[in-house]
Structure 1
Amino acid sequence: MKTIQSCRVRHSGRVAVRAERKPGRAWRTAAVAATLGCAAVSAHAESFFSIEAGLGASRAIRAGDMQYFDEGLPHKTPVDSFAARAGIAVNLIDAPVRSWVPGMRLHLTYSYWGKLNWTATVAQDSGNFPQGNGGYSAATKSCIDNNCGQMRTFNSSGVTHSISLAAEAFWNLGNDWEVGLSAGPAIYFGPWRSTYIANEDGVFGPAGSAEQVSHRIVPHLGAVAGFSVSKGAFSLGYSYLYAPPHFAGTGDDVPSGIKGAHMVYLGYRF
């Protein structure tokens, strides 16, 4: 009887111990489930929305001859500059791995296309000579009858900014490699300043006379297009900005000296 009673006591003790462990196991199970759930939600949020930034170099596209410089006369009009971009990306459709079917993203991006500083020796326009016997000719890249009229020095500078909304079709090549093509509208700003200094006496005043003109900070509608190759969070990309020159509609306003720009950048997605 004692042995049986002893067995019952030991058996009862084991049951009590198990009963005490059940709540602990339940809590651990709930905690693991919650952690996995949060991780899944976090991963989904990260794949849907991300922040991206990049640094690179840009090359502006000049508006053309007789736009702050005469191509046939001495001028220094560099077009290369530092560039940067930053924005957000939203994944709308995931891309199947190794498939011709693309995914889709939207990019809201601010881009800095660089700053330019130009200096040029500029002749009078041929339109200032009603008899057609002088002034600079864009057709011949020289002054008609070697008569340039009053020569001036143009010192010009400008920067270009844009805010764009581009749609990107991208393909998942596997092993974290992607390629993408993008395009969309852009609002761009191209503030521009120029000072015209007379090199000699003439119709624009005595030597040393200065006239200042500018293109004010006014938004204009343009477009962007580009492509990128990425590996994980890193990317190498190219972007093009279409930014035709405009007048702001004021008396002392002049258009920007460029009509677009190219950008090559190294990017990172956070």
Structure 2
Amino acid sequence: MPTDEDRRAELGAFLRASRERLVRTDFGLPPAGRGRTVGLRREEVSYLSGVSVTWYTWLEQGRDINPSRQVLDAVSRTLRLGVPEHRYVLGLAGFAPLPAASADEVSTVPAHLQRFLDAIGENPAYALTPEWGIAGWNGAYQRLYPNVATTAPTERNLLWVVFTDPAVRDLLDDWHVTSSRFLAEFRAEIGSRLGDPALLDLVARLSEASPEFRAGWERHDIRGFESRERIFHHPEFGAVTYEHHQLRPSDQPEFQIVVYTPA
């Protein structure tokens, strides 16, 4: 198992390698010694990050220091790290992963995820944003729940339709059980982001629109996701039983993909 010393050494080596790959003209900097156009000096990274040269040097040397998350975020921005690289830096320093992207950033699924949903074929499937907005779905899900295509985008949220759309109550065999479970799973996921404006707005609107939601929210139930059987009253085929699965794409972890397969 890696020790703290191992993680500090890896963090320093990663920061150094990232710094040495940067193109100087991207930062408006002239060539360095002997016309070198690639690689920033430690002093330059520290200045651009607002971090002291000594502190940044110690980071690269793997010294036994405790950098704040703000320092690591600033250095990551200067080094122009992508999301996976930024997560890697935070993980090596012992911090929690980056928060999920906001609703504004992920209101619709990327084209390749929509193609994946479509390829699932006759199995209903849809994608959820961090606030559980329904960002994409396939034809099988639309046949199961036709209102998904006509609901206003601002209300196309799984919790919103479950608690406010009468058609969902008719569709679900156990509305009271499912709605309570969804709410407990939702709360478990968003606990670290309860202050986000988008979440506060959603909770406020649902609390006003649904007495059942308001009562459930005040219970503070927490529950992790588990695959399970679900029974739906299909508008064409009557009662159908599916197994409920959930997965996250490695390249788009802010989305949840929900798939219903025949049970």
**What's the TM-score bracket when you normalise by the shorter of the two chains?**
under 0.3
Higher relative contact order (CA 8 A, sep 6+): 1
| Greater Rg over alpha carbons, structure | 1
What is the TM-score normalised by the length of structure 1?
Answer: 0.22
Higher helix share: 2
What is the TM-score normalised by the length of structure 2?
Answer: 0.22
